Amino acid sequence: MEHYESKMQQPVSSPGVQKNEPCDALDSITTNGLGLVNPEKVFSFYNELHSYLASAGIDGVKVDVQNILETLGAGHGGRVLLARKYQQALEASVARNFPDNGIIYA
């Protein structure tokens, strides 16, 4: 996993979200941190994972909790750029490894 240059990051949610949508899970992640794959290496991460799944007979993927990227944008050009890099890498990997299926987003 070292080749993905993952680092622990502390999510930062906005005061409005904290007040209007309190979340025990986010509180725990904020306290303990979250591992984030280097955005420049995220396609390799997804492609390695998806090619393994495809070789095992899996024909698609479902993804969830992508919104956490909004809290990890500091130091990566902001939340929009970080989310865009991850989304583009995810879509490219799925298209390569599961050409007959799209992504199920939850």
Q: Give per-residue pLDDT as tens, 84-100.
A: 999 999 999 999 999 98
Q: How many CA atoms lie within 13 A of 45 on its CB side?
A: 20
Q: What is the pTM of this model?
A: 0.84
Residue 4 has pLDDT above 90, yes or no: yes
For residue range 56-72, what is the model confidence (pLDDT) as tens digits? 999 999 998 888 888 88
pLDDT for 93? 97
The CA distances from residue 64 to 15, 61, 68, 69, in Å, are 23, 10, 10, 11
Domain ranges for the chain = 2-105
pLDDT for 31? 83
